[in-house]
């Protein structure tokens, strides 16, 4: 078990969405919270809302900027020498066909969704290994498993995040380290990030999603899939032909049409 009470938990993208909800749940369990986010107003509002529940510190940081990311990590460790749990939650999505992406959008998506979790973890994981204690949880996506139109770059970033996170999990096992690694692969979450998405599969409730993530961390769950049957996607990809899989997932389940009316968060 990973205990949260009296532990320090760093959450990126903590000013809104499930990051904010997870922060509240950590505080309610007696943990201390550090929030990173690019939105200073959102951080201030979140701190004002939650500080009666416990200790909360905030840092304004653009994690797509490596210099800012590194400086913030160094400052965070000066202020809080022990970070027990790191939740790589921050993410973005553009939601358009690949050929319509600008190079800036491609680089920013990969920087935030794929590179940043690795770069942030490079500051905190070595210290966890030294203490032989800690937990890193990375919010990937069900898009880590499945291709989808208008999500090419997003899917690429989440495939990368999943592959990295799960590889580190195995590395910790090989090293016989007590540091735990969890990777989360949720379906669409109703936080505003995917406004306009239409799906036959129910879109996830943010409150329930945050609860399952925190519970998964506490139980040291290796892969936290939501809904649970998303973990079988790779099995079906292995036994079906590509044409059959595309037909079933695209035409029957309608997954390939979910982003048709995507608007996203304003």
CA angle centred on 185, ends 44 and 95, rounded to 5°? 70
> In a 10 Å sphere around its CB, with 0-12 CB exposed, 13-18 middle and 19+ buried, how is residue 26 labelled?
buried
154 annotated active-site: yes
What 8-state DSSP symbol labels residue 247?
A: I
**Nearest by Cα to 207 from 76, 24, 4:** 24
- CB proximity list for 177: less than 8 A, separation 6 or greater: 129, 132
Q: What ranges make up the beta strands (E) of the chain? A: 8-12, 32-37, 56-60, 85-88, 135-139, 180-186, 223-226
> In a 10 Å sphere around its CB, with 0-12 CB exposed, 13-18 middle and 19+ buried, how is residue 175 labelled?
exposed
- One of 59, 97, 154, 188 is an active-site residue; which one? 154
Given a contact cutoff of 8 angstroms between Cβ atoms, the answer to whether 187 and 208 are in contact is: no
**Nearest by Cα to 4 from 33, 35, 34, 29:** 29
User: Which token pair is 25?
Assistant: 């749940």
Catalytic machinery residues? 154
């Amino acid at each position: 078990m990973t205990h949260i009470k009296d532990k320090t938990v760093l959450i990126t993208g903590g000013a809104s969405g499930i990051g904010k909800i997870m922060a509240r749940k950590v505080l309610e369990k007696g943990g201390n919270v550090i929030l990173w986010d690019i939105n200073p107003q959102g951080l201030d509002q979140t701190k004002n809302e939650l500080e009666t529940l416990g200790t909360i510190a905030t840092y304004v940081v653009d994690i797509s900027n490596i210099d800012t990311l590194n400086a913030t990590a160094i400052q965070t460790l000066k202020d809080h020498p022990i970070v027990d749990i790191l939740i790589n939650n921050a993410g973005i999505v553009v939601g358009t066909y690949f050929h319509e992406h600008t190079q800036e959008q491609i680089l920013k998506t990969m920087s935030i969704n794929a590179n940043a979790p690795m770069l942030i973890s490079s500051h905190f994981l070595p210290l966890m290994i030294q203490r032989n204690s800690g937990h890193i949880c990375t919010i990937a996506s069900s898009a880590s498993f499945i291709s989808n139109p208008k999500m090419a770059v997003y899917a690429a970033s989440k495939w990368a995040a999943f592959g990295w996170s799960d590889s580190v999990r195995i590395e910790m096992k090989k090293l016989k380290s007590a540091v735990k690694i969890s990777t989360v692969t949720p379906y669409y979450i109703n936080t505003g990030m995917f406004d306009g998405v239409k799906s036959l599969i129910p879109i996830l409730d943010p409150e329930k999603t945050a609860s399952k993530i925190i519970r998964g961390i506490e139980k040291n769950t290796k892969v936290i899939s939501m809904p649970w049957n998303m973990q079988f996607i790779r099995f079906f990809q292995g036994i079906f032909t590509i044409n059959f899989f595309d037909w079933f997932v695209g035409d029957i389940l309608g997954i390939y049409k979910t982003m048709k009316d995507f608007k996203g968060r304003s």
